[in-house]
Structure 1
């Protein structure tokens, strides 16, 4: 599982999903070297969404490894406060990549203010106050994602 986590929510979800799937290598793309994708039959990709954009490292990973990801069972999840999953997926990833992905979903989002810089914290507090987003990791979505990926 390859993921990038800004405030820790994506990593939390990666660990919860790994528990459901079993025998999973977790790779934080910002902190670890990528393994050889040829060694894997299944690849799950996780990213946060910030201001409508997924992690640049995750987007670059999917673009640069498009050929290596072909013929693999693929899953992708996003962590975000918005319910506009399809919009963010389609605006951030190549159509050819998305057509290869078997399981796609979003797992909700958290506001981990202690892990944010001042400006990001200020912006998100205003968004939270004005829009009242549904907060929290949606464990039921992680369970469903794992079931669908294992089929």
Structure 2
């Protein structure tokens, strides 16, 4: 069973999660960064995993558009959907806003992999905004965003069984 992982991210956290996910999945696996590469035809793949990061409250446009453009074909595949997000408590809302309802309903698994803020990779404006967000979160007692590796593991286990 071949698997295609399509994703889009901004500063590297999503790619880290995809790399870990790829190592945990069985069978031939291809990964495509939708912000950088042209996606292949999904017809030859048995399973398709689509994900991306939430960036200032919005899901990555490339991942969102791919789902809309390929909805009918994707509904014929075993689908996994994931998001990297520093606010996992909002994940259901983000999923509904990002993915077509038919695809959400069809998916084998939907999950949040958490997220991290790699400020050393950010542009000035993004550093400034994320600095303010982190300060506010610390004042209210919220933990710093982190990747939820257990979620990545659960996701891969479920996709391997699909």
Q: How does 1:1-150 map to 2 (within 5 A)?
A: 1-22=5-26, 23-83=28-88, 84-131=90-137, 132-150=142-160
For structure 1, which runs of at least 5 residues remain unmatched after alignment? Answer: none
For structure 2, which runs of at least 5 residues remain unmatched after alignment? Answer: none
Which deviations, in whole Å up to 9, do the C-alpha atoms of 1:82-118 show, x marking residues without a partner? 0211011012222112111111101111111122111
Tell me, what secondary structure is at the counterpart of 2:153? helix
> Distance between the aligned counterparts of 2:98 and 2:24, measured in 1?
27
TM-score (norm 2): 0.89
Query: Across the two proteins, how many residue pairs are aligned to each other?
Result: 151
TM-score (norm 1): 0.95
Tell me, what secondary structure is at the counterpart of 1:140? helix
> Distance between the aligned counterparts of 1:108 and 1:70, measured in 2?
26
